[in-house]
Amino acid sequence: MSNPASAVVSVTGLSKAYFQGGQNVPVLDGLELSVRDGETVAILGVSGTGKSTLLNVLSGIDAPDSGSVVIDGQDIARLDAAGLARYRREKVGFVFQFYNLLPTLTAAENVMTGWEAAGKPARKGEHAAMEILDALGLQHKADRFPEQLSGGEQQRVAIARALVKRPALLLADEPTGNLDPKTADATTALLLAQARAFARALIIVTHNPGLARHTDRTLVLRDGRLVPAEHAADVTRGMVA
């Protein structure tokens, strides 16, 4: 019997539709997902299948129409606005395609925003920021502003900001989609290694089926549900990339 306490993510019957062209179009349709403590999961799927929608629901940015979304033992679909805001600040780290760093703050200060938002003691913020920047190979660039950093370095700062609070769940939506292939591979390797060290579970949306070799599991989002990649012949034919 599975032990629910060891699941960081437990989603059942998740449905969400958008009103488009005068009718409700289902995007997520009875989706199920379970991610264990310590697990890393990649999600592939053609454009428009709902990958970002799923991450937005898991992070509490978007509300589902129905279903239960239990993260770290808490059904976030039942939280009120204040509860959701707190959940987002304390439990979730989010890495976006376009970094979203604050241009007027240094790398270290950007990372500290993640620490302070989670309600951690401000006096320990600098130490925590330097520890994670060090893990990401950026300790010597802590005082630089985002415009003084390369794209790959900016994304490493964004990863540090998401991980500094040691989130239950790290979500990454095409985090290397804006980087050249070599930098993308190096950044992905760092993201996976540090997610394993600083977060309890990782879900990464990617258009790169090669990433599948490096995560514990790869799933494909299709027709509103997740299927194991090995059951999705279009992945092996490269049609998802």
Select from 52, 187, 206, 218 the one that contacts ligand ATP (CB under 6 A). 52
Q: How far is the CB of 201 from ligand ATP (least distance, A)?
A: 20
Sole residue written with tokens 């769940």: 169
The site partner of 20 among Mg ion, ligand ATP, none (C-beta below 5 to 8 Å per kind) is ligand ATP
Instruction: Rank residues 53 and 188 by Cβ distance to ligand ATP and give the closer one.
Output: 53
What dihedral do alpha carbons 146, 151, 153, 158 form, nearest 10°? 70
- Options 41-49, 87-95, 134-142, 144-152: segment touching ligand ATP (CB under 6 A): 41-49
Select from 3, 20, 23, 104 the one that contacts ligand ATP (CB under 6 A). 20
Beta strands in the chain (DSSP E): 7-20, 23-36, 40-44, 66-71, 74-75, 92-95, 169-173, 201-205, 217-222, 225-228
- Options 45-53, 82-90, 126-134, 184-192: segment touching ligand ATP (CB under 6 A): 45-53
Instruction: Rank residues 22 and 121 by Cβ distance to ligand ATP and give the closer one.
Output: 22
Is 154 one of the binding residues for ligand ATP (CB under 6 A)? no
Is 48 one of the binding residues for ligand ATP (CB under 6 A)? yes
CA-based nearest residue to 212, from 45, 88, 55: 45
Backbone φ and ψ of 142, nearest 5°:
-60, -30
* Residues contacting Mg ion: total by CB under 5 A: 1
The site partner of 209 among Mg ion, ligand ATP, none (C-beta below 5 to 8 Å per kind) is none
Q: Which long-range contacts (CB under 8 A, 24 or more apart) does 108-117 make?
A: 108/133, 108/142, 108/143, 110/146, 110/157, 110/158, 110/161, 111/157, 111/160, 111/161, 111/164, 112/164, 113/161, 114/160, 114/161, 114/162, 114/163, 114/164, 114/165, 115/164, 115/165, 117/89, 117/165
Is 104 one of the binding residues for ligand ATP (CB under 6 A)? no
Select from 45, 60, 67, 224 the one that contacts ligand ATP (CB under 6 A). 45
Residues 35-94 that bind Mg ion (CB under 5 A): 52
Interface residues with Mg ion (CB under 5 A) are 52
Interface residues with ligand ATP (CB under 6 A) are 18, 20, 27, 45, 47-53
